[in-house]
Structure 1
Amino acid sequence: MLSDNPIAGPEADRYGFGTHAKILCDAISAADDLPLTIGVFGPWGMGKSSFMKVCEGLLKAHDVRTVWFNPWKYDQKDEIWHALIQTVLAEIAHDLEKRRQSGEETLRDRLTPALDTVRKLSRAAAWLLARRAAGPLTAGLLAPEDIDAVQTALTAPGMDTYLHVNRFEQDFRDVVDTYTDGGQLVLFIDDLDRCTPEAAITVLDSLKLFLGDGSCVFVLAMDYQIVAEAAAKRFDNEHTDGVRGRQYLEKLIHFPFHLPGVPFEALHRNLHDRVTALALTGSRELWELIEVAFAANPRRVRRFVNGLNHAALTLHQHSDAPGHERLLHAGTLLAFQIKHPDFFTALQNDPGVWARFDEAEFAKSELGGGDAELARNNPGARRLIAAVSSRRTGADFPPPPTPAVIRLLTEVLTVSGGAAPDEVMTRGE
């Protein structure tokens, strides 16, 4: 089974991100007009997290301070901005404390005031949270039992915490300057497009409101269209064109970086040995199917390989080891299940759909009735049928499977295949 985890860093780069990451990281290191916000744009599953892990590793190798934040772990609007701030402050506090304890007296004297300011900023963030809604305090800078104290003592008039709320940006800027020795702090924010619309915009607002005066570079991974639509829901309640949502992102993002696609050859090179169905070893048709269905989307290809391997094992339990033809049929149905789930359901209910689409493609004729509606609702399904047709010259695909075979294979694939819930929610094609 192949995991869906991003690569850990530059040494694990399998898809050729290193060259593009180095160019971007060199630009980040040279930037002196800060803060700076970079948007790493790419569709779901194209490797944005892996690309940013490569960038993080390259920056750390040059002693650039970095922090990583995953906003999708937090559901509530109030919780997410608080978690963002506390994550950054906790990372700074942890490193400052280590350096203070291991350093000479002059270093301790310089770092101690910065560490005290970090703790005050943490209390200020907790004070703001307590004013709106009591919630869990993250990162360990404040113990859970301190929540009541935050709600009472920190709301008292004249408290030092209130001053830090008002001067949060300035104090944060000073802390970052001390923490980085006058350099940069690079904050990686991953998976914004997996958040609820409200949470995604809350993260973006928080960068401007609380952290927008420090020597920081914010690197945000997102599907541009999804986050733009989230912004549009806030600003364009009376409009449908989403103009203000796009303007919001364009104002926030200083440098848009569109993630280059992974070469399909790199996917093939790294995954062809992971197809455990022996009858498909070296199958050119299998990889043609994968390329047509998923292009070079690493996440979808890996999920497809997992599903196909599981289906092959299951079919082996039904009878003898499945042959090349049966496994290509299973792979095609799995591709439908992942990319066109409604079409897959239609095949379950009416197995003759496959043959009718294949015939219409060969005859270059129009589909009629329910088939025409099915094709309209599943753009790309007819193209996939054409790509795996036995009538296609230059390929060796089998004819459409019989209804009995389709029923068997769809029953098997119902257990092991299909799109993940987050893929269904974020799929934009």
Structure 2
Amino acid sequence: MLLTDNPIPDADGDRFGFRAHADVLCEAIAATEDLPLTVGVFGPWGMGKSSFMKVCQDLLAKRGLPTVWFNPWKYDQKDEIWHALIQSVLTEIAQKLEERRLAGDLALRERMAGALDTVRRLSQAAAWLLARRAAGPLTAGILTADDVNSAQDALTEPGTETYLHVNRFEQDFADVVGTYTDGGRLVLFVDDLDRCTPDAAITVLDSLKLFLGEASCVFVLAMDYQVVAEAAARRFNAEHPDEARGRQYLEKLIHFPYHLPGVSFEAIVRHLQGKITDSQLSGSRELWELIEVAFEANPRRVRRFVNGLNLTAVTLRLNPDDPPSRRLLLHAGTLLALRMKHPGFFAALRADPGVWRRYDDAEFYKSDLSGQDAALSQENPGVRRLLAAVAHRREGFDFPDPPTPTEIRLLTQVLTVTGGPPNGGAAPAPAFTPAGATGEGQGQ
């Protein structure tokens, strides 16, 4: 069983307690009178920002509020991102207006036809601004190829109708949103800004200025605050980024900062405990202690760890005559966590398997590390804490003593297959042979 990183699709799929918080935010979005409004949903990578916004989108839809979802990281060029954002909104509006036009009476059909004509002009203005033949595929049927060509030709004809619509874009867009929402509000969710390149992320934020003048819109932007603030700082001065100026840029753009509520580790355990396929590990206190120390309450990182552990356990069972012991499986989990969190230490451990035991002894005797061991600890902050958490002499837990060199060689070979090369691209280990699963110290 492999777990995906996909966000939950709706409020009914919430497993981490987001709904109660999302209800509060959605109530505020629905009740706010002074529009447009920009909400920043802030949280580190992997903490569930996309899932939280999917819950919000579902709750708003149940209130009858129209929404649009946009993922800027799918577009790698700055002007493509800018254009795709605009065309995504216009396409969604055009589709719904056309549905209402076809289903309405004569007066409604005329009203919708007028709004659709404005949408078409807005789309053409956006294509004119882009002035690239790549615009065609992004217009999703609002414009034909001839329309785009005409818009590009208009670049050399100041004063034409297309050029005038560039200047009227903000007001025309506000009018279309008003028709589309019947005087209500449109909520635009922009996800994964922190997955974009710095220039692309800032391009998305800058492009919102086209909408922020008059339209009755709420923009909900998911981002790692620090990542995007640093991108803004580099935008103003690439050689000497001014972090304060980057933060000021976001503060001016974001009207309401919403810091994503943390997911409890207990909620992660409830959700994922049944996803661990090996019976020796599924209810292990020691395994979940390792996971909490290594990954805290980051749902995405824990899911990735569980995927790797499940594949590793299955691989170790390829030899039915020598099934892996609990000891070996717990060591596999620790090595997987080391590979994910501290790839440099993982690579060093492959070269010198005795380093784990020396760290374990230093923790028990409260002594200092020396030489290469001390340097390795400095290069991999946090690794000593992780190994201390799984120490076999730690009270209250039943962790096995450090693995033998034979066990480490076996497990690092398996993890190279089930989790990718250590240290971000080191040469792969020799091919894993299931019959080699017999090794010293495995029978505990």
TM band (smaller chain):
over 0.9
Q: Does structure 2 retain, via aligned residues, the 8 Å contact 1:72–1:192?
A: yes
Is there any run of 5+ residues in structure 1 with no aligned partner, and where?
423-429
Output the CA distance in 1 between the equivalents of 2:393 and 2:345: 21
237-246 vs 274-283, which moves further = 237-246
SS at match of 2:166: helix
Map 1:375-390 → 2, pairs under 5 A: 375-390=377-392
Counterparts in 2 of 1:144 and 1:411: CA distance versus 1, 3 Å: farther
Map 1:11-410 → 2, pairs under 5 A: 11-130=12-131, 133-137=132-136, 138=138, 139-144=140-145, 146-153=147-154, 155-237=156-238, 239-318=240-319, 320-410=322-412
Counterparts in 2 of 1:9 and 1:198: CA distance versus 1, 3 Å: same
236-245 vs 381-390, which moves further = 236-245
337-346 vs 134-143, which moves further = 134-143
Output the CA distance in 2 between the equivalents of 1:298 and 1:417: 18
Q: Does structure 1 retain, via aligned residues, the 8 Å contact 2:343–2:423?
A: no
18-27 vs 210-219, which moves further = 210-219
Q: Does structure 2 retain, via aligned residues, the 8 Å contact 1:334–1:418?
A: no
Q: Does structure 2 retain, via aligned residues, the 8 Å contact 1:362–1:391?
A: yes
184-193 vs 242-251, which moves further = 242-251
150-159 vs 291-300, which moves further = 150-159
Matched, 1:411 2:413: yes
Q: Does structure 2 retain, via aligned residues, the 8 Å contact 1:172–1:211?
A: no
SS at match of 1:317: coil
Output the CA distance in 2 between the equivalents of 1:67 and 1:211: 16
Counterparts in 2 of 1:392 and 1:222: CA distance versus 1, 3 Å: same
Counterparts in 2 of 1:24 and 1:284: CA distance versus 1, 3 Å: same
Output the CA distance in 1 between the equivalents of 2:166 and 2:335: 57
150-159 vs 309-318, which moves further = 150-159
Aligned to 2:440: none
State the Cα distance separating 1:261 from its structure 2 match. Answer: 1.1
Question: What is the RMSD computed on CA atoms of the aligned residues?
Answer: 1.8
Output the CA distance in 2 between the equivalents of 1:207 and 1:401: 55
9-18 vs 108-117, which moves further = 108-117
Aligned to 1:426: none
Q: Residue type of the partner of 2:378?
A: R
Output the CA distance in 2 between the equivalents of 1:36 and 1:127: 27
376-385 vs 104-113, which moves further = 104-113
Q: Does structure 1 retain, via aligned residues, the 8 Å contact 2:42–2:223?
A: yes
| 1:208-255 CA-partner distances (Å, limit 9, x unpaired) | 134543111100000111111111111133535511111111111111
Q: Residue type of the partner of 2:142?
A: L
Q: Does structure 2 retain, via aligned residues, the 8 Å contact 1:337–1:418?
A: no
State the Cα distance separating 1:419 from its structure 2 match. Answer: 9.8
Output the CA distance in 1 between the equivalents of 2:305 and 2:197: 27
Q: Residue type of the partner of 1:91?
A: E
Q: Does structure 2 retain, via aligned residues, the 8 Å contact 1:338–1:418?
A: no
162-171 vs 146-155, which moves further = 146-155
SS at match of 2:252: helix
Q: Does structure 2 retain, via aligned residues, the 8 Å contact 1:285–1:397?
A: yes
Q: Does structure 2 retain, via aligned residues, the 8 Å contact 1:236–1:245?
A: no
Output the CA distance in 2 between the equivalents of 1:44 and 1:238: 26
TM-score, normalising length: structure 1: 0.94
Q: Residue type of the partner of 1:159?
A: T
| Percent identity of paired positions between Structure 1 and Structure 2 | 69
| 1:83-128 CA-partner distances (Å, limit 9, x unpaired) | 0000000000010110111112221122221111011000000000
Output the CA distance in 1 between the equivalents of 2:252 and 2:367: 49
**Runs of 4+ with >4 A deviation:** 418-422
| 1:7-42 CA-partner distances (Å, limit 9, x unpaired) | 000011111100000000000001111111111011
Q: Residue type of the partner of 2:364?
A: F
Q: Residue type of the partner of 1:81?
A: W
Q: Does structure 2 retain, via aligned residues, the 8 Å contact 1:338–1:419?
A: no
191-200 vs 103-112, which moves further = 103-112
State the Cα distance separating 1:416 from its structure 2 match. Answer: 1.6
Q: Does structure 1 retain, via aligned residues, the 8 Å contact 2:344–2:423?
A: no
SS at match of 2:318: helix
144-153 vs 101-110, which moves further = 144-153
State the Cα distance separating 1:307 from its structure 2 match. Answer: 0.4
Output the CA distance in 1 between the equivalents of 2:257 and 2:419: 35
Q: Residue type of the partner of 2:322?
A: D
State the Cα distance separating 1:374 from its structure 2 match. Answer: 1.5
Output the CA distance in 2 between the equivalents of 1:46 and 1:269: 16
State the Cα distance separating 1:274 from its structure 2 match. Answer: 0.9
273-282 vs 188-197, which moves further = 273-282
Q: Residue type of the partner of 1:367?
A: L
State the Cα distance separating 1:301 from its structure 2 match. Answer: 0.8
Q: Does structure 2 retain, via aligned residues, the 8 Å contact 1:127–1:155?
A: no
Q: Does structure 1 retain, via aligned residues, the 8 Å contact 2:72–2:204?
A: yes
Aligned to 1:425: none
State the Cα distance separating 1:402 from its structure 2 match. Answer: 0.6
Output the CA distance in 2 between the equivalents of 1:248 and 1:211: 15
Q: Residue type of the partner of 1:186?
A: V
Q: Residue type of the partner of 1:320?
A: D
365-374 vs 268-277, which moves further = 365-374
TM-score, normalising length: structure 2: 0.91
Output the CA distance in 2 between the equivalents of 1:235 and 1:157: 31
Q: Does structure 1 retain, via aligned residues, the 8 Å contact 2:339–2:422?
A: no
